[in-house]
Structure 1
Amino acid sequence: MNKVFLALAALAMYFYSCAPARQSTQSTVSFSNKVIAHRGAFKNTGVPENSIASLKAAIALGCGGTEFDIHMTSDEVLVVNHDHDFMGMHIEQSTYKQLLAKRMKNGEKIPTLEAYLKEGYSQKKTVMVAEIKTSKVSKERSLRLATKVVELVRSLNGQAQTAYIAFDYDVCKKVRALEPKAPVQYLNGDASPEKLKADRLDADYHFSVFQKNKNWIKTAKTLGVKTNAWTVNDEQVMDDFLAQGIDFITTNEPEILLKKLGK
């Protein structure tokens, strides 16, 4: 009898050890404050937006996070730029080598995502807020871009310093599936806090969406859904959202918001 019992116990332990570990959804990313610099700190520094220089400026200011935009070239190099074109060249229809023919006003070439992340990960106080841009070519290309971004972040061991945002809901869900612990925020503004909660996403909406839906910040807070408003440059609007207890504010005026928060 003892031998049978011990055999069954050993078998149970074997299957328990082989079972996949339950993944926690608790984010491992910690923001030092509510201030998210929009495309880096560029407006009051005179450097180009989405440049390495604007990234360094946001970090030097002590922003809680700095947002930047990611595209994929025709030869699948990931680059950082806001618009779908870089100085007249459509990124998705150009090779990376072709994009190098143009330079920003400070002499920088268009940054690769790898170079941008490496610079950001060289410090620990400012979170990298990666916007995965929606492809103008196809849905499949948007999803492929999302996968490649997550893979690059992992290869650089940057999971604890990276949040993801996107206008495409399917891209957000793709990133959530790939990275259960990462902050993933939806940008388009057409999903209620309840829907976001069901899909384990957060709300990163244009400030007018929260102004129209006046109970959404409160509801989101009750549900445990994080809220961020973009792009808030007016001081009165900043004050209103801070009074409501919003989690983050994306702004072209990080200096003003940091001052309000006593940073």
Structure 2
Amino acid sequence: MTIYFIDGQFTKKDSLNISIDDRGYYFGDGVYEVVKVYDGELFTAEEHIERLFQSASKIKLAIPYSEQQLIDIAKELVKANDVKTGHVYMQVTRGASPRVHQFPELAVTPVVTGYAIHSPRPIKNIEGGVSVKTVEDVRWLRCDIKSLNLLANVLAKQEAHEADCTEAIFIRDGVVTEGSSSNAFGVKDGVVITHPATNLILNGITRRVVLELCKELGISVEERGFTHDEMNEMDEFFITSTTSEITPVVNIDGKAVGSGTPGDVTKKLQEAFARQIPLSVARD
């Protein structure tokens, strides 16, 4: 049975007590993070928890724990649930109070919850690639905040799902921004191109790892917005996220990308990424 964390305690699901007045339920008034687990160890935990605090600060939410305390809680969840390959989900809401749009006038304690579950690496997608569908980016202008307000992302993902695609790629004013739950990268003439880390995208942790790997491998990078038309002319395309790692995109809106198979630059980055994680896991 899964062990959860809530309000300072580790507990089983049937003992969870979350108020209907929680502002996360009413307004999506909160932030979250997902940290990957390889071989029972957290991967890039410091970067994820630091971003959690950054997101919280941007919505004026004070997390009642330190960064190290949250990392320790995440480690305990991994241990308690005996997770070898999987992920930890952590969420912070502003707390429970009567439903009014403005912040509660009385002191309200933010609610911190978390859990750790088993989830295998998506080897089939990593090796064979996936199809994606482009959709209009109608989200608000603070996509840099990893908030609980994900309805536009959910609708985009569902649209992609109904088209037998793995991911939706957002297009804003003719420019590719990111995926509904990933960052997007194109490769043209050996150069990796991705949208800069502005308010229009979430600066993904795996995105940052990939940019560092490009530097180590001597792969040229352009952080710039590229158009929908440019996207359709890319030699390669891939998406990144905590759970999807580096996943090649072999088909966009029904049209093959390049040869229709994962490209050489993408493969080099995947190999370099695999060297960052335990060998036994990398070969799973």
Shared fold, TM over 0.5:
no
Higher strand share: 2
TM-score (norm 1): 0.26
Higher helix share: 1
TM-score (norm 2): 0.24
Point out the structure with max Rg over C-alpha. Answer: 1
